[in-house]
Structure 1
Amino acid sequence: MVLARMNAHTAPIPLTITFANGVSTVLMLYPCSGTDGLSFFDLETGASSTTTAATAQAATYCMLPWQSRGPNNFDPVAPMDPAATGAATEIFMPANSKTLFLGSTNGGVWRTDNFDSTTPHYIPLTDKNLCQSVSTVTGSLQDPNFIAYGCNGVSNFGSVAGPYEGVYVSIDGGTTWTHTNLPYGRDNVGLLVNKIIITGTSNGQHTITVSTLGEKVRRDNSRIPNTGAIYRSTDLGENWVPYSTNKGKDEYPFDMIQDPSTIPPTFYYVDNSKKIYRNTKLDINSWTAVTDTTFINKECADEDKGDGFFADTVNNAKLTIYTEGQNNILYVGYYGGSKEPASTCYAFYFSTDQGATWTTMLAPNGDILYQKIGVGTQNKRGYGELGNQGETNFAVFADPTDPRFLYVGGTGAEIFRGDRTFSGNNPNENEGFLWSFIRDMETEDSVIPMFTVTGTSPHVDVRFFGWDRSTNQLMCTNDGGIWIHTNPKGRGDWVHKNGDLSTNEFLLAAYDSTTDTIAGAAQDNCIWVSRSSAADIAAGKSIPGMFYTYNTGDGINVAFDSNQLPPVLYATDQSFGNFMKVPWIEGGKPPSTLFGNILPNGAYDFFSVFALNVVNPRYLLACTNILKLNFCNRYDMTTGDNGELPDSEKVQTTGTLSYYKYGGYRNGIGDETMIFGINSEGNYVFALDKGGKNEYNSLAIVKGKTEIVIAMNPRNYYQSYVVDGWSQVWQTLDFGATWTNVIGTLYADTGSHEMPYAWGSVVVPMGNNNALVIGTAYGIYAAFDDKMGPNTRWHKLGLSMPNVLVSSFVYDPIRDLLVTSTMGRGWWQLPKVKPQLTFLDGGMYKFIFNKQIYDRISYKKNNLVSVLKSVFSL
């Protein structure tokens, strides 16, 4: 077996083949047909010097790259709470520049050099780095090419995140990256980085200061107590000096900023004890507390509520600063809560003397955001209505051009402009008061422009604010990418700047072979469908009409019934909300039908999934918790009125199933009654077929995760696989009665520090065996069931897949196509899967595709030794 990197235009390469008897022959390695990839061919045992070039050409296959399927465009954009791309975190824009660096929750760092365009063009910069879960990205104020990012990004879906691998720096604008030596925590787990500041020095070097919440718990996104720290490096991250933020108890920094107008720059950080610390020296150990420890208590004890509320916990805090000469204004915002009664509260303060004294800005009160007649927030103190996800969705920003204004945003799309100089009697009204709305929202099924020109809003769940100094416009990142406000000091509109950004977080993918259509259930961004091809994406095509969305909220379920004509897509959001049916017609956006007889939101579990029957997909199974009554109902989706979910047949009442398969084959015989699922709350496996029903204890296979995905052998439903929340791989060969851990060498093969972050999986049937394909945060890997056991070997499948969390797979045997959804980089596909799996199964047990050069590759098969004499770039 011989392999080499070739493209469709490469001329045939002569190869010298030496046999065991010493006889040599020259064969020609032919390129992949019509595509770039890794060419290989296999000479069978007994090949001799008479083997012809035609024989070699006939045996040539291609190890192909994964191909993006987008989305890289969305159309149309609704004015209110619009569907958009995936979550963006921090941004950095060099001064006097059209260049923007954007971090995403699980999709890495991106760069655009035409942010001033209506449709900016973005380039992913970090696909091959070990960390794509970006919490912070920044740059040098002195050198626009010096960029750094840190790892601590987290999705709003189940706090999903990939590996945290410290800090990366680039000195060439993101073209190349250096993984710094920021220390790992215990168990070789990365730190929780939440802020990076880069400052210049007198000799032209850079100092990197990093704030961390502390050490991450292994296999979890929580933190280890008493490990909060700040680190500083003056040699591009080669060496670090730590400063512990613990003051005799578990104290850790939430945020850190610099005042660049002072020499040296003044640093501030705010911690979970509500204190703000200041450092005016270059010494990392010189910090002084400058705040009142009673902050937030009085602001959140609103006597008008009469509920005894008291903020006893600070769950997040943010700093921002206005700097113009010596007129500097420091702001802090707190997100707090109480346990008894359970509630949340926000409080804001500012200081005009570097923290020596502080003045409160009563939080915007949003118990009633606004009414149709135009009343603003209630004229009461405290209780800022910025939502209950302030750990991830909370941002404050000082207007860099006007010392009066502070912008704040939270969980919903509630975004306010605060005027710290306001002294009137109605502090919480609309435009022109202490707090002014700068977004609109839908009321009574209509949009009435009240606080924007045309009635617009960005996506919900605000994460960060920035400023475009070339246009004096406010930039806002959120769980729908990046948006600008055209006139933040007055009345403007919200416009997205996502361009061809492709950072969608998809929980699940569905595929229809006939129409080559992908559908996806997107975190907080509805149901997506594709009208484009891999060739369109590769050619850089990004125009309206390539993708469409169906407005749902959090997409949860998607499935195609390809047996119907035309094919039918079924989809829901959380709690079976917006349960829809979409006949997939040619051209445009197919109309959808919402089933009108679904119980209201709250009647079902949030993560309620359905399954189409594999043997007869006209039947849909829903096993969920409805009004606290567990059930499994079967629906014949070809019956009933068009706007109503068909009458159901109750098939089981045993309990809620977190994930399940419905219908399957065994020994060539289909069983429509088969149900195989997992109850993660009760920790048991449920197995039902014509032979009867069984429930088995499954504590091991459900640990660490509630949304379990099952990969089932399509030819034998007795054989299934589960990847648990700790990336352990479990196999059953007896319909769930017993389970064996077959993870083998997956940790070593992926090169992971903590764990591979495996999630999605699928079984691909082959000739005499089956391949289990698993997505990890370090690539996609395959193993073969006839070789599984304690030392299972894993093979990297395909080229050029970003190191991103992989949530689901669909294998289409008609096209021999593998489609995957990711939690941060949209959809991807790999064609001609079986020849590549056959190649991997033949003996080349491991590839490390991020190596730049293979200078010598040899493979021994019985009496044949094939030696590649040339050097090829992989």
Structure 2
Amino acid sequence: MNRLLLLSMLFLFSAQSFAQYASVWDQVPSKIKDRKSFKRLEWFYRQRAFPLDTIPLTKYFSEKEKQIAIDKLSLSKTKAQVSWGAIGPKSITSGWPFIWGNFSGRIRGLAVHPVDPNIVYIGAAAGGIWKTTNGGSAWQDLSNQFELLTFGAIAIDPQNPETVFAGTGELLAGWDMNTYSGDGIYKSTNGGSSWTKINQGIGSSTHVAAIAVSPGNSNIILAALASGNWFKGDMANEGIWRSTDGGAAWTKVKTVQDPNDIVFHPTDPNRVYFSSGGGFTTAGFYSSTNAGLNWVQSNTGLPSTPLIVRMQIAIANSAPATLYSYIYTNQTDFTSKAYKSTDNGTSWAQISAEKNLGGSYDGSTWDDQGWYDLALAVKPTDPNFVLFGNIEFHKTTNGSTINVVRNVSGPFSGTTAWDSPMHVDYHKIVFAPSNSNYVYTGCDGGIYKSTNGGTSWSSVNNSISTLQFYRLASHPTNENILLGGAQDNGVFRTTNKGSTSWSFVSTGDGMECFYDYTNPNIVYYSTQNGSFTKSTDGGVNNWSDITPPWDGTPAWTTPFAMHVTDHTILYTASTGFWKSTNSGASWTNISPAAAKKTIVSFNQSKVNPNNFILAAGEYSTIPQIKVSTDGGINWIERTSTIPTPNNYIARVVTDPGNANTVYFVRSGFGAGKVFRSTDLGNSWVNISGNLPDVPCSDLFIDPVNTAYMYVGNDFGVYYTTNSGATWNRLGEGMPYVPVLDFSYFNNGTKRLLRAATHGRSAFEINLNDILTHYCPVIS
């Protein structure tokens, strides 16, 4: 079944009937589906697509354009009285067992100035474009002009280095998977100070995998564009595109599925190469001898095309007939292997007896992430010196024997990936063209630098606010103390909000966290799929495991909360509803059949603590809502009252002033984002008003005035002053970025609302200022 037919089916059939047809998710092998790197992406994107199979990109961009127009009109008519303030983290200071220095969010795009090795541009997965002019000591955010902050490709014109190209969208390459959307290619002619979109001929729905500028003609630019499966772009765009006028106009010169990489010959601008994957018949290596007009596939010595899931390539500038490729194969062992060509890519040979360069914690597992992280680079002055990045870092100094790079002074003496000199999961490696001693790498922990050709590394993540939060918690009395959890960067804390770096607490994907409101020295946090931990010294040390004896697998972001009036009681949920009456020392499943599906959210009424509401059903099932009036023991079905369509329910919330008033917010696309019930779920009213039709993740109701409500969605934060009749974007000081969670701070004198973003760390705003000075709604 081709993908065009599949996409048509997605829009024609309901979720129930859709189950009869092939799903893009079914393309992914079961072994990959079990990996944490896949599960975090599945959680984020499937809830946004459901009940469809892919996210409607056209709808997303139409809503974005409409909102931008409204924002511009609003700002032209009234001056905002309040704005968001960034509170960090700008990086996280790693702790035992890691020796990674400060780390930040995932970096996918990376380019180094052709003359000055201290000028570097990076593209964050969801955090925009950043630039340093001093080798990473400080970074400047260049993203204020962008409508979208997801970047996967950056290229500098080698002849005019003030000209920079940035490609939006983040393609993961394997099985044509992608993360959040792309809206085309941008160009700057002043070193990133300003940008212009250059999409003529391409359109706007794109995921840019790579960009390359000819070393002999600044007007010739090539771009690899892919469609993606989850956030579906324009499939007609897939392939290699070429511009002969500096990006003003584009023509597609090669139709190919899942293109991965592009490399120009350093001295012969007519010779250029690209690679593709996805397991399609078009997968493999291609060369052109006329600057990209025509292409020839050259797969001799490479795995067969159905096995090539992803392929990255690099050229040896000092011996340009030599190329290397790093290939992730769709075999039973799911391995990443290195190949070498010494005849301009005409033929290839595997260069190491080692079958797998995936890297692992124990040397034999975790070897199947080449679809997610795969990178390589050849030293400009030595054709035999190559660096490879996957989960771990590898290198060869003789062009054939490849060894893992670890720090023998690490906590395990260089025997495990915990001894990696940098945060694991590498996405990009670039040597400085003018000084091969300088090399930079982008990974899940941000950006790292070596000044001795890769022998030793240091973090250069200071002042980069690109963390992808899941959840955030505020100290009950001290506004400067916070605790948070983020994607692949664990749990972290600060005692000085806004400081350059927060302190590392735990590895994994950090989820729900909170302080004991009677004794803030007692801190709780969780990581993916319901692993719970408690600290009794404010989160500094002294952590103990308090995970319940689960009878199944709970949700990726497992709900976890403290009783609203009794700090010794904790609650959590899987399909059953769990309770601890001794601060987590033991757990009881007080309602094993609370829901038929996995519970994703619950909330307890502050007015009547016996009242609860829950939402169940992860991203591939019809949602379920239930309520309890006896403290969570018995549950009343409310699913039949949920208004259609059946989007994923991201959060349920109780009203701070009325025990029978409850709310839910939806992810996905379709009518209705925020719903209210005044009879404990018997009936619902859509209070979405003029909210944009994009996924919503959280809702906060101001306890001082419940007519004031705030919703976090994929464009930021929206608020209402009239109980949902009309909404306005609260956007001053915050970019267009998904907001996944709110945290409320109230010490009696100051009331702050914190917003945890998935890509730009965290922000806060003074709620008392909102009550006094709010912008009029522009309709």
TM-score bin, normalised by smaller chain: 0.7 to 0.9
Q: Which residue in the other structure is 1:402 paired with?
A: 382
- How far apart in 1 are the matches of 2:361 and 2:697? 44
Q: Secondary structure at the match of 2:167?
A: strand
1:347 maps onto 2:311 in alignment: no
Higher helix share: 2
- How far apart in 2 are the matches of 1:106 and 1:368? 25
Structure 1 residues 630-684: Cα deviation after superposition (integer angstroms, max 9, x where no partner): 421111345xxxxx7235462453235433233204xxx4224524333334621
User: Which of residues 266, 272, 275 is equivalent to 2:284?
Assistant: 275
1:460 CA displacement: 1.4
1:169 maps onto 2:178 in alignment: no
- The 5-angstrom pairing of residues 550-629 of structure 1 reads 550-562=505-517, 564-577=518-531, 579-584=533-538, 590-595=540-545, 606-624=556-574
Is the 1:162–1:757 Cα contact (8 Å) retained in structure 2?
A: no
Structure 1 residues 510-553: Cα deviation after superposition (integer angstroms, max 9, x where no partner): 1124111221111111111122134xx5xxxx3xxx52121231
- How far apart in 1 are the matches of 2:550 and 2:407? 26
Distance 1:722 1:266, change over 3 A: same
Q: Secondary structure at the match of 2:734?
A: coil
Structure 1 residues 29-68: Cα deviation after superposition (integer angstroms, max 9, x where no partner): xxxxxxxxx99999xxxxxxxxxxxxxxxxxx97222111
- How far apart in 1 are the matches of 2:409 and 2:680? 50
1:498 maps onto 2:465 in alignment: no
TM-score by length of 1: 0.71
TM-score by length of 2: 0.79
1:213 maps onto 2:226 in alignment: yes
Q: Which residue in the other structure is 1:191 paired with?
A: 206
- How far apart in 1 are the matches of 2:370 and 2:551? 23
1:236 CA displacement: 4.8
Q: Which residue in the other structure is 1:856 paired with?
A: none
1:694 maps onto 2:636 in alignment: yes
User: Which of residues 258, 262, 269 is equivalent to 2:264?
Assistant: 258
- The 5-angstrom pairing of residues 636-785 of structure 1 reads 636-638=581-583, 645-648=585-588, 650-655=590-595, 657-665=598-606, 669-680=607-618, 681=621, 683-690=623-630, 693-697=635-639, 705=648, 708-716=650-658, 718-726=661-669, 728-733=672-677, 734-747=679-692, 756-765=694-703, 767=705, 769-784=706-721
Is the 2:530–2:547 Cα contact (8 Å) retained in structure 1?
A: no
Q: Which residue in the other structure is 1:87 paired with?
A: 106
1:503 CA displacement: 1.0
1:258 CA displacement: 1.4
- How far apart in 2 are the matches of 1:798 and 1:664? 30
Letter of the 2:309 counterpart: N
Q: Which residue in the other structure is 1:243 paired with?
A: 253
Q: Secondary structure at the match of 1:759?
A: strand
Distance 1:190 1:716, change over 3 A: farther
1:65 maps onto 2:83 in alignment: yes
Structure 1 residues 327-363: Cα deviation after superposition (integer angstroms, max 9, x where no partner): 431122221214xxx5412233222221222222246
Is the 1:245–1:253 Cα contact (8 Å) retained in structure 2?
A: no
- How far apart in 1 are the matches of 2:471 and 2:93? 21
Gaps of 5+ in 1: 1-37, 43-60, 298-310, 379-384, 423-433, 625-629, 639-643, 748-754, 848-874
Q: Secondary structure at the match of 1:579?
A: strand
- How far apart in 1 are the matches of 2:201 and 2:771? 38
Distance 1:104 1:370, change over 3 A: closer
1:472 CA displacement: 0.9
- How far apart in 2 are the matches of 1:354 and 1:704? 51
User: Which of residues 442, 449, 466 is equivalent to 1:484?
Assistant: 449
1:295 maps onto 2:302 in alignment: yes
Is the 2:82–2:769 Cα contact (8 Å) retained in structure 1?
A: no
Is the 1:519–1:527 Cα contact (8 Å) retained in structure 2?
A: yes
Is the 1:170–1:177 Cα contact (8 Å) retained in structure 2?
A: yes
Distance 1:212 1:369, change over 3 A: closer
- How far apart in 2 are the matches of 1:316 and 1:610? 38
Is the 1:503–1:825 Cα contact (8 Å) retained in structure 2?
A: yes
Aligned pair count?
Answer: 685
User: Which of residues 142, 155, 164 is equivalent to 2:159?
Assistant: 142
Q: Secondary structure at the match of 1:408?
A: strand
- How far apart in 2 are the matches of 1:99 and 1:782? 40
Distance 1:715 1:615, change over 3 A: farther
- The 5-angstrom pairing of residues 845-856 of structure 1 reads 845-846=777-778
- How far apart in 2 are the matches of 1:258 and 1:700? 55
Letter of the 1:437 counterpart: V
Higher strand share: 1
Is the 1:227–1:252 Cα contact (8 Å) retained in structure 2?
A: no
Is the 1:575–1:604 Cα contact (8 Å) retained in structure 2?
A: yes
Structure 1 residues 155-176: Cα deviation after superposition (integer angstroms, max 9, x where no partner): 99xx895442111111111111
Distance 1:578 1:794, change over 3 A: closer
Letter of the 2:514 counterpart: A
Letter of the 1:352 counterpart: T
Q: Which residue in the other structure is 2:395 paired with?
A: 417
User: Which of residues 294, 303, 317 is equivalent to 1:286?
Assistant: 294
User: Which of residues 472, 482, 490 is equivalent to 1:509?
Assistant: 472
Is the 1:526–1:551 Cα contact (8 Å) retained in structure 2?
A: yes
Q: Which residue in the other structure is 1:854 paired with?
A: none
Structure 1 residues 381-423: Cα deviation after superposition (integer angstroms, max 9, x where no partner): xxxx77323222111222222111322221x2x221135654x
Q: Which has the larger radius of gyration?
A: 1
Letter of the 1:472 counterpart: N
Q: Secondary structure at the match of 1:69?
A: strand
Structure 1 residues 276-309: Cα deviation after superposition (integer angstroms, max 9, x where no partner): 2212224x541222223x7225xxxxxxxxxxxx
- How far apart in 1 are the matches of 2:407 and 2:590? 45
- How far apart in 2 are the matches of 1:605 and 1:271? 32
1:621 CA displacement: 0.5
Q: Which residue in the other structure is 2:127 paired with?
A: 107
Distance 1:330 1:632, change over 3 A: same
Structure 1 residues 532-578: Cα deviation after superposition (integer angstroms, max 9, x where no partner): 134xx5xxxx3xxx52121231111211222x134532102123335
Is the 1:62–1:836 Cα contact (8 Å) retained in structure 2?
A: no
Aligned alpha-carbon RMSD (Å): 3.7
Letter of the 1:141 counterpart: P
Is the 1:318–1:333 Cα contact (8 Å) retained in structure 2?
A: yes
Stretch deviating more after TM superposition (139-148 or 353-362):
353-362
- How far apart in 1 are the matches of 2:81 and 2:508? 38
Is the 1:105–1:154 Cα contact (8 Å) retained in structure 2?
A: no
1:506 CA displacement: 0.7
- How far apart in 2 are the matches of 1:597 and 1:237? 54
1:442 CA displacement: 10
Letter of the 2:707 counterpart: N
Q: Secondary structure at the match of 2:770?
A: helix
- How far apart in 1 are the matches of 2:551 and 2:491? 18
Q: Which residue in the other structure is 1:331 paired with?
A: 324
Q: Secondary structure at the match of 1:836?
A: helix
Distance 1:256 1:263, change over 3 A: closer
Is the 2:222–2:241 Cα contact (8 Å) retained in structure 1?
A: yes
- How far apart in 2 are the matches of 1:371 and 1:266? 37
- How far apart in 1 are the matches of 2:195 and 2:551? 46
Is the 1:40–1:63 Cα contact (8 Å) retained in structure 2?
A: no
Letter of the 2:674 counterpart: W
Q: Which residue in the other structure is 1:302 paired with?
A: none
- How far apart in 2 are the matches of 1:682 and 1:41? 43
Q: Percent same amino acid among aligned pairs?
A: 19
